[in-house]
């Protein structure tokens, strides 16, 4: 256990000479916007080191380690761990090898948990009874420390086995490209303006209402960050959608918005109205126009069939190639702009995108032909 700046600096210096290390974090994120770091686990050939971030003030050596491209960082489904590490060190790790993603490319399922992958690949059964443990309470129990250690101790063995299987299957290039795509997506998701893309049912809004929703979600994101509270505690998605869809709002009619508490109305009412008023002056974008997918229901079924065929041929999970939501986004983007979403470029373009585009093009031609008759 490391609990002071000097010990962390010494450990990071040692890890800098390693070819690869396993990295995981434990945190609590129930009442805050940002994760509250509780523990950092690092494995190397000598064993496991646990770092107590609550007693350390200088994470400069950790930042240097994380940005050292010669040291591979083994992580499993690491997006939330990236949030923790960025919060502490101010940097985004480079040279990450995600064992969950590698497991998907190796044919072990799209979103396997660490415990499931360790059991399937290595034949080791882990105890996951402390998943919801309070990692901020001190002292940590021996059971917590054992649990935390197990979360990194098998990463090197997984890496060795999965790397060999990716090589055999010919999936190394695609895996590495997908790692970069997800790194890009993670960085994008941190921007306040990206919060709009996480709002479900936004497609039901009229074209002019999307600018309002974008402005409201960005306002909520910035405010939630400043107050360090969960987004939903500030304003729910349903409230944002209701605000965006109301044409003539004023301080009095804000009281008619279901779910908008009196406290939030008093505190944020004028800011919300100002935000809405400014956004309503913006022109809708091409992607803001409402596009019904009903005429493309059969096309989406066909697209899913194409993805399934490619997945079976290449021994990949269909969800890894394209989820239904991704296929819907592809259809909308092609119809509205003629552009291909970023995720359908790269390795996906080589294995499936052109077939999907051909199917969409055929359906569009048929739809146009029916309308002209």
Tens of pLDDT, residue by residue over 283-316, are 998 888 888 888 889 999 999 999 999 999 999 9
- Distance CA(54)–CA(304), nearest Å, equals 47
Residues 20 and 100 in one domain: yes
244, 213 in Cβ contact below 8 A? yes
- Distance CA(372)–CA(358), nearest Å, equals 21
Residues 203 and 64 in one domain: no
Residues 300 and 255 in one domain: no
Alpha helices per DSSP H over 56-111 = 60-66, 79-89, 99-105
199, 241 in Cβ contact below 8 A? yes
Residues 111 and 39 in one domain: yes
Percent of the chain with pLDDT over 90: 89
pLDDT the model gives residue 367: 53
Instruction: Decide if pLDDT at 153 tops 50.
Output: yes
Residues 333 and 361 in one domain: yes
Residues 95 and 200 in one domain: no
Residues 231 and 133 in one domain: no
The total number of residues shown for the chain amounts to 373
Boundary of a domain, candidates 258, 288, 318:
288
Residues 303 and 156 in one domain: no
- What domain range includes position 109? 5-190
Average pLDDT (191-217) is 94
Residues 46 and 117 in one domain: yes
pTM for this entry: 0.92
73 bridge partner residues? 21, 96
CATH number at residue 362: 1.10.150.80
CA distances from 90 to 22, 57, 85, 139, 172 (A): 19, 13, 7, 27, 30
Tens of pLDDT, residue by residue over 317-360, are 999 999 999 999 999 999 889 999 999 999 999 999 999 999 99
Tens of pLDDT, residue by residue over 15-43, are 999 999 999 999 999 999 999 999 999 99
Residues 152 and 262 in one domain: no
Average pLDDT (270-282) is 95
Boundary of a domain, candidates 239, 273, 288:
288
Boundary of a domain, candidates 190, 217, 234:
190
Report how many domains make up the chain: 3
Omega of the bond prior to 139 within 30 degrees of 0, cis? yes
pLDDT the model gives residue 365: 57
Nearest to residue 83, comparing CAs of 173, 163, 188, 190?
Answer: 190
């Amino acid at each position: 256990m490391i609990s002071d700046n000097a010990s962390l600096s010494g450990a990071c210096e040692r890890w800098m000479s390693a070819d690869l290390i396993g990295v995981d974090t434990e945190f609590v994120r129930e009442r805050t916007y940002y994760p509250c770091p509780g523990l950092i686990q690092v494995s190397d050939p000598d064993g496991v080191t646990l770092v107590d971030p609550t007693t350390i003030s200088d994470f400069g050596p950790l930042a240097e380690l994380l940005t050292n491209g010669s040291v591979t960082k083994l992580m499993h489904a690491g997006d939330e761990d990236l949030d923790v590490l960025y919060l502490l060190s101010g940097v985004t790790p480079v040279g990450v090898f995600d064992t969950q993603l590698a497991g998907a490319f190796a044919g072990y399922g799209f979103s396997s948990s660490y415990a499931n992958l360790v059991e399937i690949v290595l034949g080791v059964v882990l105890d996951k009874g402390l998943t919801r443990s309070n990692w901020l309470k001190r002292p940590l129990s021996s059971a917590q420390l054992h649990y935390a250690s197990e979360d990194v101790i098998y990463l090197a063995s997984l890496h060795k086995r999965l790397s060999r299987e990716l090589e055999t299957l010919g999936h190394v290039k695609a895996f590495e490209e997908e790692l970069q795509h997800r790194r890009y997506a993670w960085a994008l998701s941190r921007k306040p303006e990206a919060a709009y893309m996480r709002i479900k049912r936004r497609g039901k809004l009229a074209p002019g209402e999307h600018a309002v929703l974008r402005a409201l979600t960005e306002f909520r994101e910035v405010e939630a960050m400043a107050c360090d509270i969960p987004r939903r505690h500030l304003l729910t998605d349903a409230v944002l959608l209701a605000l965006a869809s109301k044409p003539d709002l004023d301080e009095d009619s804000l009281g008619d918005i279901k779910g908008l508490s009196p406290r939030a109305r008093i505190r944020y009412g004028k800011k919300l109205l100002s935000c809405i008023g400014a956004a309503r002056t913006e022109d809708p974008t091409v992607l803001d126009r409402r596009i019904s997918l009903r005429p493309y229901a059969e096309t989406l079924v066909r697209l899913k069939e194409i993805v399934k065929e490619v997945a079976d041929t290449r021994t990949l999970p269909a969800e890894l190639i394209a989820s239904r939501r991704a296929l819907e986004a592809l259809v909308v983007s092609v119809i509205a702009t003629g552009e291909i979403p970023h995720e359908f470029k790269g390795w996906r373009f080589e294995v499936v995108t052109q077939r999907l585009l051909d199917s969409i093009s055929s359906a569009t031609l048929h739809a146009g032909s029916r309308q002209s008759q």
